[in-house]
Each structure stands twice: as C-alpha cells, then as structure tokens.
Structure 1
Amino acid sequence: MTRRSRWSSPPSRSYAWWAPRSSRGCCAKQPPAVRTSPEASGEMRPSQRQAAIKAAIRVIEGGGLSGLTFDAVARETGMTKSGLVYHFPSKEDMLMALHEHLASAWEDNLIEALGVPYEESTPDQRAAAYVRTQSQAMSRVELLLMIDAASHPEYIAPWAAVTSRWAAPVEGGQDDAGFRRAMANLAADGLWVYDILNAQTLPAEVREEFAERIARTVDGADGRGGSPEAEPRG
C-alpha cells in the first residue's frame, strides 16, 4: 500500500459506498483472468527464437530455401505461426536472422581457435585461427544462403563484419607478411568449398592436416606467430 503524505491533497470523494456490497468496485467478484501462453499471445522467449532458427536450418537442409515457409518452421518446432511472426515479421527477417546466427557461431569458433584474447592477438594469429575454422566443409545451408545473398547484399553484412575483424586483406602492395596471411586465407577458403566444387568429400583427418599446414605458414609450428613484424592489436 502506498503511504500518503500528510501534505498531499485528500482523495476525491467517491459515492460508490451506497451501492450494494456485491456491486462495489472494491469488492465485486471479477471473472478469472484468462491466462495465455507466451506463444499464444504472440510473444516468444529467447530460447524459442533460437529453437525457431535451428528449425529453419533443418527445413533448408531438407527442402532448400524454397521450402522455408512459416508453415514449415511451425511444423518443425510445434510453434504457432503467430509466435514465429512475433520475432520474424517476414521471411526476409527470418533469413537475416539465419545469416546473423551462422556468422555469430563462426566468430565463436574463431575466438576458440585463437586461444588468446582478441585484443592481445597478432595479425598472424588471427589469420591462423581463420584458417583452422575453415577446416570444416561448407554445409548445404551455408551454400544456399550464400547463393541467395548474392542478390540480397544486406545478408552479407553479418559475414562482412566477422571477416573484417579476422580475415587478412586481399590486396596488392602488401609486405611479405601481409601476402602470406592473404594467401593462407585464400587457401583456407578453397578448402572450405572444396567438397562443393569437386563433388567429393575429403576425410576429416585430411582436412585437418591441410588446415594445420596452411595455418603454420603464418603462425609457425609453435602457434605463437610466424612474422616477427606482427604486433599485438592496440
């Protein structure tokens, strides 16, 4: 109960006191409130949003981008369409969420592969981490999303944000260390798409061996950086 100040104005007079007890506002019996689930009311918890994103990935794996519909994701998750629309007002919003999710997961892998705080890392160490995360083959979902992104530049933004922090710039006029990092990144990109381009699957151990050998061209066999001129990021 809120305590009134002795200097506050008196409450306005109410004339409801004369009404029968059963009809007074303070005592009248109110109908029970109808409780609805967050999904039924159009609200979704963050965990449900993540579940919807993962379900959308499974839908694309099975039926391609053309199979990605609200109905398909709703069936996959058991959610209602209204619950999905709360977080993804359109299919384009859902696709953007997929790009953001996958790009974020990639950066998590990059941070793990780096092994040191990003702020203390060298360009060589970041390039080597980039190479090591590319030892995994491109997935069908990533391929389809990348092809679709070619005609929707806004979908590239989450990926570009990650590569701007991790990938070595591919440009002319660099010193030897810069060229070495760029070539390592290009080789890693080739390893990433190898299975798709060659219609065959490299064994996991072969992928890891190639990735490690490429990474060592920039960070050395001991993993502490192969370029003496590389300085920690300030």
Structure 2
Amino acid sequence: MGKITIAIDGYSSTGKSTVAKQLAKHLGYVYVDSGAMYRAVTFYAMQNGLITETDFNKEALIYQLNKINISFKFNEALGFAEVYLNGNNIEKQIRTLEVSGFVSKIAAVSEVREQLVEQQQQMGKDKGVVMDGRDIGTVVFTDAELKLFMVASAEKRATRRYNELTERGDSVTYEAVLKNVVDRDYIDTTRKDSPLVKADDAIEIDNSNMTKDEQFSKVLQLAIMTVEGLE
C-alpha cells in the first residue's frame, strides 16, 4: 500500500494530536506534532526572559532562533516521540497552561514560522507522515493527499483540556482554561501570517460529541479510502 501525507489542522484542544498519534501508529507513519515545535520555542523564550505577561522581546527571540534546536525522540514506553530542546526532554514542561498562554504570540512571529515550516517540510518530504497543527494543509503541505480540519465547541474543548491538566496534577481552574481556549482561537484566526483557516479541500470533523474511538474510526476510514483511491 502506497504512503500519503496526512495534514490535520484545527482549533486548540480538538484532539488533533491524539488522533494523529493513533493514526500514525496504526499506519506505521511518522508523526510530527508541529504545535510542540512552537511550544518548544515558547518555552525557550520563557526560560530566557524573552516573554512575560507584560513584555515580549520579539527582536531578541528572532536573533536567537539559531540557538534553538528542536528534535523528536521516540519513547517506546509511551508509544510516541517526545520533544527535545537543545538536547533536553521538555515534553512535560511545554504542556502547561502557562506555555499555552504565550504560544499563539510566538507562533504569530513570521521569522519563527518560516524556520519551523522549513523543518516541517523536510520531515515530510518522503511522505508516510501525519502532521497536525494550524497551517499544515494550507502552508506546510498544500499538496497533502488527505487534509482534515478538526472543530469542537469552546466549552467542550475547555472541559477536555481542564480534565487533562488536573489529571496530571496541574492546579488550574476551568474558567482560566476556557479563557485560554477562547484567547488562542482569536489570535490563531486573526494573525497576519498563516492564520488558522480551513483549506478548501479539507474535510471538516466536528468531534464535540464523539468519543476518541469514534473519532479514530472515522479518520482511519478516510485515510484508507484516500490511499485506495490513489492506487
């Protein structure tokens, strides 16, 4: 069976990464979490005092981009690749609400996007890749054979994210998570460089009332139909 490129875009906390990981594992494809790459840059900026609640030194971040080395290393125990920043595992650190609060601002910087998009395109040059993010189908892989666009209500997404954070021990409130979801939606859809939009040839999936199994079953069926249609 031939290999294709699968681009999964959508709003924050719509389960893009979850279904992308499932799909990649089932098909034997490479999985790339593009959002984790932007989170890694955000974490770097936070660690180096380049972004705070009151200030964002965009010029300094752009100047230091060549110091940021992002890589993925597969963890057999977890079943997916974890994110490394300059050789250090930062998988857990980049999933906090604090990082979520800054990541859309970092992702809006054209120089950051340009560098990461180039890396992402290199990762998918041989096909057999599942990549999720905000602009995968519209910018990174415009010729992807299968493009999906995930949506769900802000309340549903906030509930999922809140449960995820509290289950791992983070101290957050539902109200703070919901505000983060709404704020990120606004920034992602209104930024000048590569805003979040549905590609004309993308298939929209509203998973507001879907279980993870139902979502995976639907997406897998679409992937198989796409591959079979090209043979």
**Same fold (TM > 0.5):** no
TM-score, normalised to structure 1's length?
A: 0.29
TM-score, normalised to structure 2's length?
A: 0.30
Q: Select the structure with the greater relative contact order (CA < 8 A; seq sep ≥ 6).
A: 2
- Structure with more of its chain in helix, by fraction: 1
- Structure with more of its chain in strand, by fraction: 2
* Structure index of larger Rg: 1
